[in-house]
Chain A
Amino acid sequence: MFQDSKIPEGPLTEKWEKHKFNVKLVNPANKRKYDIIVVGTGLAGGAAAASLAELGYNVKAFTYHDSPRRAHSIAAQGGINAAKNYQNDGDSVFRLFYDTIKGGDYRAREANVYRLAQVSVNIIDQCVAQGVPFAREYGGLLANRSFGGAQVSRTFYARGQTGQQLLLGAYSALSRQIAYGKVKMYTRSEMLDLVIVDGKARGIITRNLINGEIEQHAAHAVVLATGGYGNVFYLSTNAKYCNATAAWRAHKKGAYFANPCFTQIHPTCIPVSGDYQSKLTLMSESLRNDGRVWVPKTVEMAERLRKGEVKVSDISEDDRDYFLERKYPAFGNLVPRDVASRNAKQMCDEGRGVGSSGLAVYLDFAEIIKRTGADAVSQKYGNLFAMYEKITGEDPYKQPMRIYPAVHYTMGGLWVDYNLQTTVPGLYATGECNFSDHGANRLGASALMQGLADGYFVLPYTIGDQLAQTPPTPVTTQHPAFAEAEAQVRARINKLMSINGTRTPDDFHKHLGHIMWEYCGMARNAEGLRHAKAEIQKLRREFWSDLKLTGTETEMNQALEKAGRVADFLELGELMIDDAYNRNESCGGHFREEYQTPEGEALRDDENYAYVAAWQFNGEDQPEILNKEELTFENVKLTQRSYK
C-alpha cells in the first residue's frame, strides 16, 4: 500500500481552498521558535526562504554558488505562464490546468496541477510588485505572448531573459530577509548529507567549498530546492554545477525518487561541435514561431552537404523536406518539445542530418527575413541570433541555424505529497527537485511557474501543518545522528581522495553521459537498457578504483567537488535505467521504441502504467523497491495526444 499522497477531498476547484483552511497554523509568536533549512536558492528555494522568513520562521539558506543570484533559474529564456486571461482569448485556470495535464501526457496528479494553475496568477502580481520589469504594452499594461504551442497568449516575459529577472526578484526578497537577520545565508556551501533523528529530517551536513570544513546544521524542517538532474547526461543545457547530490543523499536516507526516467529533451539547441564540448546552449523555443525546420530530401544530398561539396544555399526548395510541416500540418513547427525532438533524431538516424557530424537539422529564417525584413527579425530575436553567431561563428541572417535536441529538464524527482513533503517526515522538495506537476513532459514557460508557485505560495502554507505538530523546542546538533552523518561524509571524501587512480572525474562523467544519451536518451528499448545497466555498473566499479584527484580536502578543490557529484550521478543513472525499463509504454519524454503507433507516435498504456513510479532505496547494491501511486483522473478524459 502506498503512502498517503494527502490529496484533499472534494471538487477539484475547491481542494486547495479547503486544504488551506484545514492545515494547522503555527501561532505567530511561536514561528520564531522554529528553524527551517532551505537548500538551494534558485527560484523555488529563494522564494521559499524569503517567504518563510517573512512569516517569522528562522531560515538557514544554503547554496554552493558564491551568491544566490547565480542559480540556473537565471538562464530560463522564454517566459512564465499564468492564467490571467489578460488577452481575453479564452484562457482560464481550468485551461492552463488542462493543457498542463495533457502536455504531461497524463502522468501528473490532477490536484497538484490545478493548484499550480490557480496560484499562477498570484505569482505575476508578486513579481510585478517586486519590480520585475516584465514586457509592457504601450498602454503600460503587461504584455503576453503565446509560447510552446499553447493556443492562448498566457506567457509573461522579460525579453529573452525572463528567468534572470524572476530570479533577481526572488534574490531581492531574499536579500531583504538576510538584511533583517531572518535568513542566515551560507554561500559556497554544499549539502553532502541529510540528518535524520527519530525518523524525521532534522538537519544537514555541508562542506564549505572555500576551506573544506565539514559543518553540521540542525533545524525543525529541511527544504530541498536543489534543481534537476539533467547533468547525468554530461552534456545538457544545465549549468555546469547542477547536480543531484542533495536529492540523491536524501533518497538514500529514505526519500522516494519518482519517475526518474522522465527527462525532457529540448529540440532547439546548438549542436555539439567537438569532444571538448562542456555544455549545450539552448536557443529559445520561440524561434520555432518563425523558423522552419528542414533537412535535405535525400541521404545523398545530405552527404554532399556534410562533406562540403555543396552549400546549403545550393539546395533548392524542391530538395528540402520541411518534415514537421509535412507530418503535422495542424501544428507544423510548433509541435511540443518531445515530438519535435524525436523527429529531428529520426531524420539524423535516416542519414539526412546536416553539419559535419550529421547530428543537426536546419532551422531556417529565410522566409521570415524575406517577408518582414532583417530588422524586424532582429527586433524579435536579435540577442539569440547574436549568441548563435558567437558560439558557432555562423551568421543566422545569412544561413540557417543548425540545431539538435539536448537534455534540458527533468520531470522526475523526489516524490512529494500534496504538501510537498517527501516520504521522510520534515523533508520537503520544491521546484525541479520534486516530481510533482509536469507528468512525463513539461510545457514551455511552466518551470518558472512551478518553482515560484512552490516557493511563494504552496510551501509557506503546507510546511506549517507539520511544524504545528512539532514542539517549538530548540533543535541542536547534539544528537549522535549528526556525528554519525558527519563521519560518513568524511569517510566518503577520504575514500575519494585516496583512490589515486588515473582517470579524472570529468572523464568518468563524460563516459556516463555517453551511455545515458545512447541508451536512455530520446529513444529507449529493453535490450539497450539492459546493456546500459551493465555498462554503468562496470563504470561505477572503475570509478571507485581508478579515480584521480590531487590537492587536499581541506581547501578549495573543484575536482573533489565534481567527483562527489559524479559518484552520485553514477547511482542515479542506474535508477533512471531501471525506471525506463520498468515503464513498458511510451509517454511524453519517455519513448520506448517497442511502444509506438504505426505512425511512430508515443503509445501510452493507461491501463497498466497510469501510476507514479516511486523508488525506494533498499541498501547499497540492492535493487530498489518500486512503489506505485495510482493516478486517477476525474476531470479530464485521457486521450491520445495528437498534433496532426
Chain B
Amino acid sequence: MAGSNPNAKPMNLTLKVWRQKNRNTTGQIVDYQVRDISPDMSFLEMLDVLNEDLLRKGDEPVAFDHDCREGICGSCNLFINGRAHGPEAGTTTCQLHMRKFSDGDTITIEPWRANAFPVNKDLSVDRSAFDRIIQAGGYVSVNTGGAPDGNEIPVPKEIADRAFEAATCIGCGACVASCKNASAMLFVSAKVSQLALLPQGNVERKTRVENMVAQMDKEGFGACTNIGSCAAECPVGISLENIAILNREFLTAKATSNNLA
C-alpha cells in the first residue's frame, strides 16, 4: 500500500547501531542492513522493521525508548548521525520521517551520551536524574483542595504565554546530549522560568532555584558555557533566554536568601 507520495521509492540503508548489554558492560557499534524502507515511515517504524527482522532471525532486537510517537511524551531519544533527534530541526525522533534520508545512506544511531544518563541497554538510557531535579523543587507547594478560585489569580496574557512556552519542555534530554559539557541548564531553566514568571511560583522562587541547581550539580551534569547547542537542538524550541532567567534567579536568590543549600 503506497502512502501519501505514490512516486516515492523504497530505500535500502546501512545502520550503525550502538549495542550494549547493560549498564555494566562496554558497548560497540554493530552494522545492519535494512531494505525496502518507505519514505513515509517514521524513523522508529524503520527501527521496528529492523527489530522484527532481528527477532525472526533469532537475534536480540535493539532496545530503545519510545511511547506516544507523536512528539510529546519525551521518551524517544536517539542520537542520529551525530545530532540529537536527527537532522530535522524542531523534531523528536518519533516525528522524524524517512523521507529526510536517501537510498543508500549510512545512518549512525547512538544513545544520549552523558555521565548523568547511564545506558540501560543499547539505545535506552536512565534519565531519572531529571526527575530528582524536579523533586528538589520543581513545583508549587499546594495541597489538593486548598486552592482559591482559578480567576482569583489573574495572570497577564503575555506572562502566561511566556510561562507556557517554558512549560512545554518534554524532558527528553536532547539539551544534555547536545551540550559538549552535558549540562542540564536548559532543562532546569525551563521549569525555573515557568514558575518564576507566574505569581503562583513567587513564594518559593528563591529556595526552588537554589535547590534545583544544587541537585543538578549533584547529579553530575556539566556546567553551562553559553554555547547554545541545547536550544538549537531542542525539539520543542525551549529558548536560551530561560538560562538567562535561571542565572538571574539564582544570583538573586544567593544574594538575598538565607537558604544554605
Chain A interface residues toward B at CB < 8 A: 47, 50-51, 54, 65-72, 74-75, 84, 86, 122, 124-131, 133-142, 158-159, 161, 163-165, 168, 171-173, 175-176, 178-179, 185, 187, 210-211, 239-241, 272-279, 281-282, 308, 355-357, 387, 390-394, 402, 456-457, 460, 502, 504, 506-507, 548-551, 555-556, 558-559
Give which listed residue, B45, B99, B148, B201, contacts A125 with CB less than 8 A.
B148
- Inside 8 A of B147's CB, which chain A residues have their CB? 122, 125-126, 128-129
Which residue on chain A has the smallest CB distance to residue B77?
A66
B40 and A550 contacting across the interface, CB-CB below 8 Å: no
The CA of A456 and the CA of B186, in the complex, are separated in Å by 31
Which chain A positions have C-beta within 8 A of B86? Answer: none
Instruction: Say whether B104 faces chain A, with CB atoms less than 8 Å apart.
Output: no
Assuming the contacts A50-B144, A86-B151, A173-B139, asked whether A279 and B69 have C-beta atoms less than 8 A apart, the reply is: yes
Assess the B143–A54 pair: CB atoms within 8 A: yes
**Contact of B244 with A by CB under 8 A:** no
Main secondary structure on B side of the interface with A: loop
Tell me whether B60 and A551 are in contact (CB under 8 A). yes
User: A141-B151, A278-B48, A556-B121 known; A460 and B70 CB under 8 Å?
Assistant: no
| B residues less than 8 Å from A69 (CB atoms) | 74, 131, 171
| Complex: A357 Cα to B49 Cα, angstroms | 21
Is B2 located at the chain interface by the 8 A CB criterion? yes
Identify B73's interface contact among A74, A122, A172, A551, CB under 8 A.
Answer: A74
Of the candidates A129, A357, A559, the one having the most CB atoms from chain B within 10 angstroms of its own CB is A129
**Contact A273:B72 (CB < 8 A) given known A133-B167, A158-B164, A168-B167:** no
Question: How distant is A16 from chain B, measured CB to nearest CB, in Å?
Answer: 14
A273 closest partner in B (C-beta): B3
Contact indicator per residue, chain B 155-189, by CB within 8 Å of chain A (1) or not (0): 11100110110011011000000000000000000
The answer to whether B91 has its CB under 8 Å from any CB of chain A is yes
With A66-B127, A175-B138 already in contact, 4 other A-B pairs whose C-beta atoms are closer than 8 Å:
A70-B68, A133-B194, A161-B72, A276-B41
Q: How many angstroms from the CA of A210 to the CA of B126 in the assembled complex?
A: 10
Question: What are 7 A-B pairs at a CB distance below 8 A?
Answer: A126-B144, A136-B157, A187-B128, A239-B67, A387-B95, A504-B52, A556-B63
Which of A165, A241, A357, A390 has its CB near the most chain B CB atoms (within 10 A)? A390
Tell me whether B198 and A131 are in contact (CB under 8 A): yes
> Residues of A contacting B2 with CB < 8 Å?
274, 356
Against A, the Cβ 8 Å flags (1 = close, 0 = not) of B42-65 are 101100110110111011110101
Beta-carbon contact of A393 and B144 below 8 Å: no
Interface pair B171/A67, CB less than 8 Å apart: yes
Q: Would you call B242 an interface residue if the criterion is a C-beta within 8 Å of the partner chain's C-beta atoms?
A: no
Q: Is the CB of A124 within 8 A of B150?
A: yes
Residue of B60, B72, B99, B200 contacting most chain A CB atoms (<10 Å): B72
In the bound complex, what is the Cα–Cα distance between A50 and B63 (angstroms)? 31
Closest chain-A Cβ to B156's Cβ sits at a distance in Å of 5
Interface residues of B (CB under 8 A from A): 1-6, 21-22, 38-42, 44-45, 48-49, 51-52, 54-56, 58-61, 63, 65-75, 88, 91, 95, 97, 99, 120-121, 124, 126-128, 130-131, 134-136, 138-151, 153-157, 160-161, 163-164, 167-168, 170-171, 194-195, 198, 200-201
Which 7 pairs between the two chains have the least Cβ-Cβ distance? A140-B154, A273-B3, A172-B139, A129-B147, A133-B164, A125-B147, A128-B150
**Would you call A276 and B45 a contact (CB within 8 A)?**
yes
- Given contacts A276-B38, A276-B49, are A74 and B72 in contact (CB under 8 A)? yes
Nearest CB of chain A from residue B77's CB, rounded to whole Å: 10
Contacting residue for A66 out of B6, B38, B52, B65, CB 8 A: B65
Least CB distance from A552 to B in Å reads 10
Given contacts A54-B143, A129-B140, contact A70 B153 (CB under 8 A): no
| B contact residues around A185 at 8 Å (CB) | 131
The complex places the Cα of A176 from the Cα of B195 at a distance, in Å, of 14
Q: How far is the CA of A168 from the CA of B52 in the complex (A)?
A: 34
Contact partners of A241 in chain B: CB under 8 A: 67
Distance in angstroms between the alpha carbons of A176 and B120 in the assembled complex? 26
- The 8 Å CB contact of A131, one of B95, B128, B195, is B195
State the CA gap A460–B139 with chains docked (Å): 21
Measured between C-beta atoms, what is the minimum distance from B185 to chain A in Å? 19
Chain B residues, CB < 8 A from A211: 22
The answer to whether B97 touches A136 (Cβ under 8 A) is no
Chain A residues, CB < 8 A from B91: 390
Q: Is the CB of A129 within 8 A of B67?
A: no
B97 with A391: CB separation less than 8 A: yes
Q: Is the beta-carbon distance between B126 and A66 smaller than 8 angstroms?
A: yes
The distance in angstroms between the C-alpha atoms of A522 and B148, with both chains bound, is: 43
With both beta carbons as reference points, the residue of chain B lying nearest to A277 in the complex is identified as: B45
Of B21, B55, B56, B134, the contact of A171 (CB 8 Å cutoff): B134
